[in-house]
Amino acid sequence: MAALDRVKVLVLGDSGVGKSSLVHLLCQNQMLGNPSWTVGCSVDVRIHDYKEGTPEEKTYYIELWDVGGSVGSATSVKSTRAVFYNLLNGIILVHDLTNKKSSQNLYRWSLEALNRDVAPAGVLVTNGDYDREQFADNQIPLLVIGTKLDQIPETKRNEVLTRTAFLAEDFNAEEINLDCTNPRYLAAGSSNAVKLSRFFDKVSFSTDSVWVVLGEQVRLPEILPKAQGSSEPLK
Ligand SMILES: Nc1nc2c(ncn2[C@@H]2O[C@H](COP(=O)(O)OP(=O)(O)OP(=O)(O)O)[C@@H](O)[C@H]2O)c(=O)[nH]1
Ligand SMILES: [Mg+2]
């Protein structure tokens, strides 16, 4: 069997928002039994059928790089994380719907990963300082995921989801809100599953188009002449 193409997706967000729980759900289709702090980064893989059911259908390994979210913006911590940010095809931005700060910090996480974090070390780029122009030429697919939906009382959901819809708009991304401990939220055929599949289609397509190398967005042929008839990405 031919080796499958692999693509890399970063999973970013504050500590405790549920990144590891989400990755486990995406890759193992079940609740993560015993979550503990992620130190450094852990990687799991999901198999994705690009353009399923069409003549262009192709299977990809999606590597989900779950980057531990502890201790925000000290320069040394940032440079440690930076090693995970090279050669990426997409970013899943994860925030906790019960924690406003974790939503605001997504601006900082995305800027850090895309190497546009020009704020002085230790200063968060908050919603108020956010400038959409910083993303004007971004070609990396982004997906915003809100977790702990189960912990928001029914009476508060509208208010919370209206606020987070703006967030997805700022990132020009789709959003999914869910409970990471419940596989039902990603059940086959559900609108969440459709959004997810659309995101992974975009990410898979990007193996043939754009990568981030040391913070610069480049087209693959510019850094690696492709083997005839192959779209094997750079490893
Ligand atoms: N009720 C509920 N609990 C959740 C949800 N997602 C995550 N949790 C819980 O939140 C806690 C933190 O989850 P993790 O997945 O470890 O968070 P993380 O983002 O990987 O944290 P770091 O590894 O420190 O960066 C765990 O106790 C999870 O069970 C959710 O959607 N609903
Ligand atoms: Mg974790």
Q: Give me the average pLDDT of each 10-residue run along the chain (235 residues).
A: 79 96 96 90 93 88 90 62 85 96 91 63 44 72 97 95 89 94 96 96 75 62 46 45
Dump the DSSP string for 181-216: T-GGGG-TTSHHHHHHHHHHHHHHHGGGTEEEETTE
DSSP secondary structure letter of residue 115: T
Amino acid 212: pLDDT: 62
- How remote is the CA of residue 20 from the centroid of ligand 1, in Å? 7
User: What gap in Å lies between CA 105 and CA 111, rounded to an integer?
Assistant: 10
- Please report where in the chains the tokens 């999606």 appear, as a residue: 62
Cβ neighbours of residue 30 closer than 8 Å, sequence gap 6 or more: 24, 183
- How remote is the CA of residue 172 from the centroid of ligand 1, in Å? 25
- How remote is the CA of residue 186 from the centroid of ligand 1, in Å? 17
The secondary structure of the chain in percent helix, strand, coil, rounded to multiples of 5, reads 35, 25, 40
Amino acid 122: pLDDT: 36
Amino acid 152: pLDDT: 97
- Is 141's C-beta closer than 6 angstroms to any atom of ligand 1? no
Nearest CA to ligand 1 atom 9: 18
Which residue from 146, 94, 88 is spatially nearest to 114, judged by alpha carbons?
A: 88
Amino acid 108: pLDDT: 86
User: What gap in Å lies between CA 183 and CA 32, rounded to an integer?
Assistant: 10
Amino acid 193: pLDDT: 96
Ligand 1: which of 21, 34, 43, 102 to mutate, most ligand atoms within 8 Å of CB? 21
Amino acid 7: pLDDT: 92
